[in-house]
Amino acid sequence: LSGSSLKSHQQESCPKKREYLMANDVSSGELSLPESVVSRRIATARLLLSLIQGAALYGFYNAFEHKTWPATEGLLYAPLVLMALFVPLLLITALGHVKLKRLALWALIATAIIAAVGYYDIWRTSPDHIGRFGYDALRHGKLPRFFVVFFTAAGLYVAHSLILAGSGDQRWLARYTSYFETAWKFAVQLKFATLFVGALWLVLWLGAALFMLLKLDFLQELLMRSWFSVPVTAFAFATALHLTDVRPGIVRGIRTLLLVLLSWLLPLATLIVFGFMASLPWTGLAPLWATRHATAVLLGAAAVLVVLINAAFQNGEIGPQLSRILRWSGRVAAVLLAPMVLIGIYSLGLRVGDYGWTGDRVIAAACLLVASCYAVGYAWAAFSHGPWLRRVAPTNVATAFLILAVLVALFSPLADPARLSVVNQMDRLISGKIAAAKFDFDYLRFEGERYGWNTLQTLKVYTQGADAKVIREQSTAALAKRNQWEGAPAIATPVDMAGSISVWPKGKTLPKSLLNQNFGQRNQSWMLPECLLYANRKCDAYLIDLTGDGKQEVLFLGRDGRNAVMMESATDVWEVVGSLQGFSARCGEETRKRLVAGDIHLIPPLIQDLQVAGRRVHIISGREALGDNNCLP
């Protein structure tokens, strides 16, 4: 049958086929299946899954708020929360695109991985639930960390895109075009679903505000109830995913527009990075090392280049359609990736050689591994003959699998940054690369998680070597701390303050009553420069009679940006009575120079204070109210 006769025959014989053919243009002898065939049953299944997800998330939230089971069992609660967040979304986006048997297998595998990640994230925490920022009984040891949630979502996005593309092509390794279409469609769906949920809540809160004008608060009260807000959010997110799934043409158009716009940023980014690389022979690498975050900046720049190169490359079939400037920018950018990554590796190597591995450096090394894969593959593509950058396609697919492997390693005992850093730091301590007196035992306590805690338990009974006593004492002290700020420098003694505070005019000294006062025990300690609290903290003190009574007050300008004006009371107690308006770190040096030079004068206020019922009322001038932070003229 020809296309037209087939269409006429099907419309007459079967209403359902008629609906299908009307929705799909059949103009040839072959049926052209749409990109997404979604039946009403699939739509219903998706919305039911969203309701189940919303109910589950509400139940877990309610358990957490009321501290009931399963929220009391962190090793169980965290995996359940992660599964409730992600597994329904995987099913919702895969329905209609993956055969049920393959979908069931993928769902089981994903559930097992998510549960394992959640379980391990809680297990690895310190047994007394003290983490990087101190004691947190409500969260630490119960909920998964933000980074675990974020990178679990990222890993599932990559894996799910690979699964959907392979299922569409009916093969384990799909065509690159399928990977490209699936990954970008999925990304656009997620972004628009998030936008839709945000718009929904904006409308709901607008409605609540309107009813509040009539003194009706029922809608506002409803929106603040978790049993309503959590399921509604899940349902709205799933609805948006479904609507974008059944309109693939709209999603494709938005994606194309976005990629075209991004691709025209490639020449600018390439010019900037090329200028940076060309400047290095003249400036050297010393300015990079001085920043102490060169590796992170270089990785960020490399990531931008990768994104922009792919925005121009797209599915690999539009190379001949691109302008010459985009093609040349793409080749140059692909070559520039390699030296940037090499500099990043060298920078990280220097830090590791001097100070050993930390958790952040392990993560940076993992990112550099992924960046190296891109750099090698893109350089290969830049120097290859044939279609423009055709080697980018296999590089992207290989790197996607590498990213999954790296994420699995980082969030498991295999390459847990805390475990690797603790092992390395201990090797440095035991081998004598770093003296026990200079070793950071607090790092093991607050960033080593369970591995650091167990190591400190071993070190507090350590008996080998000349530093054994120091190791035992420092390990015991670290274990006793409840947060990383305990054990701050001792409160400054009079001798400490006399030696660290520069007094002006030159030749003057601070009053003994001020030096002998213990400022760390007063409620105003948070207002004081650190030189009055801790030993070896530098600051300047200026003796000025600010009240005209013949007694000198003291103006302290700390190197930490704090300042305070102090006055002695009738009981010989020095108290903070004010501070400099507009003093900041930016203007502080100029202020110090003028004060040292004696370029100061006392002037009456622009507006006198009021006395109301025996109490002084200060009137704030316009410049004070606006915050005059201009530097001195």
- Coil vs helix vs strand at 135: strand
Q: What is the DSSP string of 199-242?
A: HHHHHHHHHHHHHHHTT--HHHHHHT-HHHHHHHHHHHHHHHHH
Give pLDDT < 50 ranges for the chain: 1-38, 137-138, 522-523, 625-629
Euclidean distance between the first and the last CA atom of the chain, given in angstroms as a whole number: 90
Residue burial 2-17, b: 16+ Cβ < 10 Å; e: rest: eeeebbeebeeeeeee
pLDDT computed for residue 592 by the predictor: 73
pLDDT tens for 551-587 read 889 998 887 677 888 888 877 788 888 887 756 555 5
Residue 392 · residue 316 · CB < 8 Å: yes
Residue 375 · residue 341 · CB < 8 Å: yes
The structure's pTM equals 0.74
pLDDT computed for residue 487 by the predictor: 62
From CA 314, how far away is CA 309, in angstroms rounded?
8
pLDDT computed for residue 314 by the predictor: 93
From CA 360, how far away is CA 504, in angstroms rounded?
44
Residue 163 · residue 110 · CB < 8 Å: no
Closest CA to 96 of 233, 236, 248: 248
Residue burial 614-628, b: 16+ Cβ < 10 Å; e: rest: eeeeeeeeeeeeeee
pLDDT computed for residue 370 by the predictor: 98
